[in-house]
Structure 1
Amino acid sequence: MRPLLLKGHTRPLTFIKYNVDGDVLVSCAKDHRPTLWYADSGERIGTYKGHNGATWSCDITRDSTRLVTASADSTVKLWNLTTGECIFTYEFDIPCRSVSFSLGEEFILLTTDAFMGTPPAVRILKHSKNVEDIKQNDEVLYIDNAHPGRITRAIWGRLNEYFLTSCEDGMVRKFETKTGKLLKEVKLHEKSIQMMTMDKEGYTIVTASLDKTSKLVDADTLEVLKT
């Protein structure tokens, strides 16, 4: 794959997400406007207009029809990936950080930042392909007592049975989805974990940290396989 230089944002990038087919990607930045690009040529397809704060992360449905974005403006927005139309907005009173569709896309895993005395939290929101069935404040799980600092990323585990969070304290935590029970926590880094992602089969994760290391980790045991 030849390297591409994509120019379109006016402020620093925060997140990049390819669709499953790998033919398009979405970039998020502090300039409020997520942007859609062709992956092979780097041509900009368009921007998603509606956020009033930095967009920290995004995810794309497997059929590449819908995009979800999380923003510092305290909203999570659902978009038509192709047309750029905003089809629904989840509204909160605290900055939103990380978003991820579940397997089957019935749920959205969301993290929110600490703000005005409210602790950092993990939320699971209901999602539906039918927009009329999506509702505000429709949460099936809320955890606000497990993270002492900012949650930088949250990702689903295999079959949605658990999810993992990374934090600015260098910890990765594993939670049971149905109950929210903390199953395991391991300190993997000496400084903030900036990014965490899982392989397609769901067996390993990769972390990247401000301590200048990246680790390959077993997703079940959280044992470090390689640094």
Structure 2
Amino acid sequence: MDEEEDDLRLDAADLIEVPDADEEIGISEALEDMDMMNRDERDDDVAVSVFRKHEKAVFSVSLNANLVASGGEDDRAFVWTIENSETPVFECKGHKDSVTCTGFSRDGHFLATGDMSGVVRVWNTETGLEVWGFECGDLEWLVWHSGAPVLLAGTTSGVTWMWKIPAGDAKTYSSGSDSSASCGKLLPDGKRLAVGYGDGRVRVWDLKGGDALVNVIAHQGNITCIECCNDGSLVASGSDDGSVRFVNPLNGKIVAGIEQEREGEDSAIGVESFGFCSHLPIAAIGYLNGCLKFWDMAMQRFRNEYRHPGSVVRLLWHPSEPFVFTCCLDGIVRLCDGRNGQCLTEWHGHDEAILDMVISIDGSTIVTGSEDSTCRVFKK
């Protein structure tokens, strides 16, 4: 490792100052069971594996090698493997509300799960034992640090938390208002965190010093997603007002912006997901109205688009190809070419909306969580 790379790695201690009677089955129930059987045997299901232990909608999925974590509306979270989706490796017990956040630490040693009520728990993935827990208030998101066993979280109260795991030493970053810290993204240097807020502000926090290096009003509505390009020179935020803003994280200057034109008086234009292509100057934007648009970063204009029949829930760029994976409220995963906007492949299997999606580091495996209470594994 060269000196430059070594400088980017943070010691967790540098980030935090440590403070001192059975019922007879009726006709309707039987019909419902038959319907479920038919749905499970649908002809167009191309999933190579299906996880069925959740009893309600699955809100979050995470992937680390062959391990998958899933959390759902049933207040439960599980860890299971791609090869064996029938038997969970372990269950993450103790949550009080819908589990909306899951995430593996970079080395895969820890798994964090968080529910809507603010209960955050961390598990040892080898033993399945809980190593740490905390209640931080209504939770919006969880993010692991890229170079240290440090967990970051945003809450509806506007407070962002940082904990050293498993010791639990804590640090907070408060916006000074009650506007929700709705999304967060660690910058590539590992020293700064970009946070988008419900009042349309973007703040960039110095994790060690605790100061807001950038504080800019970027949108008129709630910020729904925030991303950073690979070299850390731009932070992009998307809002439910339909706009995207590109912010310089050093000085807070808004260097460019994108507006989505409303197609009708009642049309939904909110930005649901955003992503930078890692090897071409293209960005992808997924909208509530089902439109996937590709933005030419060099020319500062839209180059093409693809129309989904339902809202784009999440988009993820392939790690080595100019293709974008999308999941949609119609329950289908698609692969679109960022150069021309054409849909290349579809993966079917879910009966209801897909609520979360993750891909493997080589782009060959897709894992989804759905409102139909299942998780599915697809292969590219």
Shorter-chain TM-score: which interval? 0.7 to 0.9
CA deviations on 1:141-171 (whole Å, 9 max, x unpaired) are 1112xx2211111221143332111112332
- 1:57 to 1:2, Cα distance in 2 relative to 1, 3 A: closer
Match of 1:143 in 2: 306
Match of 2:178 in 1: 10
Task: Indicate which of 28, 34, 39 corresponds to 2:196.
Answer: 28
- Name the larger-Rg structure: 2
**Residue 80 (structure 1) shift:** 0.2
* Residues 1:165 and 2:165 are matched in the alignment: no
- Name the aligned partner's letter for residue 160 of structure 1: E
Task: Indicate which of 284, 289, 297 corresponds to 1:127.
Answer: 297
Match of 1:117 in 2: none
- Name the aligned partner's letter for residue 143 of structure 1: Y
- Name the aligned partner's letter for residue 296 of structure 2: K
8 Å CA contact 1:61–1:105 kept in 2: the answer is no
Q: C-alpha distance in 1, partners of 2:228/2:368?
A: 21
CA deviations on 1:13-53 (whole Å, 9 max, x unpaired) are 54332223433332334331233234567664433312101
RMSD: 2.9
**Residue 190 (structure 1) shift:** 4.9
Match of 1:78 in 2: 246
Q: C-alpha distance in 2, partners of 1:155/1:121?
A: 15
Match of 1:52 in 2: 220
Q: C-alpha distance in 2, partners of 1:125/1:72?
A: 18
8 Å CA contact 2:277–2:322 kept in 1: the answer is no
8 Å CA contact 1:160–1:177 kept in 2: the answer is no
- Long gaps (5+) in structure 2: 1-148, 153-160, 162-171, 263-268
**TM-score, normalised to structure 2's length?**
0.47
Match of 1:223 in 2: none
- 1:40 to 1:2, Cα distance in 2 relative to 1, 3 A: farther
Q: Which structure has more RCO (C-alpha within 8 Å, separation ≥ 6)?
A: 2
The count of residues paired between Structure 1 and Structure 2 equals: 205
Q: C-alpha distance in 1, partners of 2:329/2:296?
A: 27
CA deviations on 1:112-164 (whole Å, 9 max, x unpaired) are 222xxxxx211111103xxxxx43xx2221112xx221111122114333211
- Name the aligned partner's letter for residue 329 of structure 2: E
Q: C-alpha distance in 1, partners of 2:208/2:362?
A: 25
- Name the aligned partner's letter for residue 73 of structure 1: D
8 Å CA contact 1:153–1:196 kept in 2: the answer is yes
8 Å CA contact 1:75–1:91 kept in 2: the answer is yes
- Long gaps (5+) in structure 1: 115-119, 129-133, 221-227
**Residue 58 (structure 1) shift:** 2.0
Q: Secondary structure, in 3 states, of the residue corresponding to 2:251? A: coil
- 1:195 to 1:175, Cα distance in 2 relative to 1, 3 A: same
8 Å CA contact 2:185–2:228 kept in 1: the answer is yes
**TM-score, normalised to structure 1's length?**
0.74
Q: C-alpha distance in 2, partners of 1:207/1:43?
A: 37
8 Å CA contact 2:306–2:342 kept in 1: the answer is no
Q: Secondary structure, in 3 states, of the residue corresponding to 1:16? A: strand
Match of 2:274 in 1: 99
8 Å CA contact 1:172–1:188 kept in 2: the answer is no
- 1:164 to 1:58, Cα distance in 2 relative to 1, 3 A: same
Identity %: 22
8 Å CA contact 1:57–1:69 kept in 2: the answer is yes
Match of 1:69 in 2: 237
